[in-house]
Chains A and B, each alone.
Chain A
Amino acid sequence: MAVADFLLRPLIALGAFALGMLAGIGRLAIFALTGVRAALTPPWYPARLLEQMGLIGWFSLPVVGLTALFTGAALAQQIYVGGQRFSAESTVPAVTVIAIVRELGPVLAGLMVAGRVSSAIAAELATMRVTEQLDAMVTLRTDPWSYLIAPRLVASTLMLPILVLVANIIGVLGGYALSVGRLGFNGAAYLATTRRYLESDDIVSSLVKAAVFGFCLALAGCYHGFRSGGGAAGVGRATTNAVVSAFILILLFNLAITVLVFGA
Chain B
Amino acid sequence: MSEPRLRIRGLKKAFGAKQVLDGIDLDVAVGESLVVIGGSGTGKSVLLKCILGIIRPDEGSIRLDGQELVGLRGRALADARAHFGMLFQGGALFDSLPVWRNVTFALTQGKLGGGQQMHALAVEVLAKVGLEPRVADLRPSELSGGMQKRVALARAIAAGPEILFFDEPTTGLDPIRADTINALIRQQVTALGATAITITHDMASARHIADRVAMIHAGRIHWEGPVSALDDSGDPHVDQFVHGRAEGPISATVAP
Contacts and interface: CB of A to CB of B under 8 A. Distances in A.
Interface of A: 43, 45, 47-48, 128, 131-133, 135-143, 147
A131 to B, nearest CB: 6
Interface stretch (B88-96, B179-187, B195-203): B88-96
B230 to A, nearest CB: 29
A136 B86 contact: yes
Given A131-B92, A132-B92, A139 B109 contact: no
B84 interface: yes
Contact of A141 (B49, B78, B90, B95): B78
A128 B140 CA distance: 13
Contacts of A132: 88, 90, 92
B88 A141 contact: no
10 contacts: A43-B111, A131-B95, A132-B90, A132-B92, A136-B93, A136-B94, A137-B94, A138-B78, A139-B85, A142-B105
A64 to B, nearest CB: 25
B52 interface: yes
B109 A142 contact: yes
A143 B78 contact: yes
B130 to A, nearest CB: 21
Given A131-B90, A132-B88, A138 B111 contact: no
Contact of B112 (A47, A137, A141, A143): A47
B73 to A, nearest CB: 12
Contact of B155 (A43, A135, A140): A140
Contacts of A139: 52, 54, 81, 84-86, 106, 156
A96 B62 CA distance: 65
Contacts of A147: 110
Contact of B93 (A43, A48, A133, A138): A133
Contacts of A138: 52-54, 78, 81
Given A133-B93, A136-B92, A143-B78, A45 B111 contact: yes
A140 B81 CA distance: 8
Contacts of B84: 139
A139 B84 CA distance: 7
Contacts of B82: 141
Contacts of A140: 105-106, 109-110, 155, 159
Contacts of B155: 140
Chain A interface, DSSP helix/strand/loop, else mixed: helix
A6 B128 CA distance: 69
Chain B interface, DSSP helix/strand/loop, else mixed: loop
Given A45-B111, A139-B84, 15 more contacts: A43-B109, A48-B110, A132-B90, A133-B95, A135-B54, A135-B88, A135-B92, A136-B94, A137-B105, A138-B81, A139-B52, A140-B155, A141-B106, A142-B109, A147-B110
B231 to A, nearest CB: 34
Interface in B61-85: 78, 81-82, 84-85
Nearest to B75: A143
A48 B94 CA distance: 14
A135 B49 contact: yes
Contacts of A143: 78
Contacts of B159: 140-141
Contacts of B53: 138
A138 B109 CA distance: 10
A141 B81 contact: yes
Nearest to A143: B78
Contacts of B106: 139-142
A42 to B, nearest CB: 11
Considering residues A136, A137, A138, which has the most beta carbons from chain B within 10 angstroms of its beta carbon? A136
Contacts of A137: 94, 105, 110
Lowest 9 A-B CB distances belong to which pairs? A136-B92, A132-B92, A140-B106, A139-B86, A142-B110, A140-B105, A135-B54, A142-B109, A47-B112
A128 B106 CA distance: 17
A179 B5 CA distance: 78
A14 to B, nearest CB: 26
Interface string B101-116: 0000110011110000
Contacts of B109: 43, 140-142
A200 B49 CA distance: 55
Contacts of B105: 137, 140, 142
A135 B92 CA distance: 8
A141 to B, nearest CB: 5
Considering residues A47, A136, A140, A147, which has the most beta carbons from chain B within 10 angstroms of its beta carbon? A140
Contacts of A128: 94
Considering residues B53, B95, B110, which has the most beta carbons from chain A within 10 angstroms of its beta carbon? B110
A137 B106 CA distance: 8
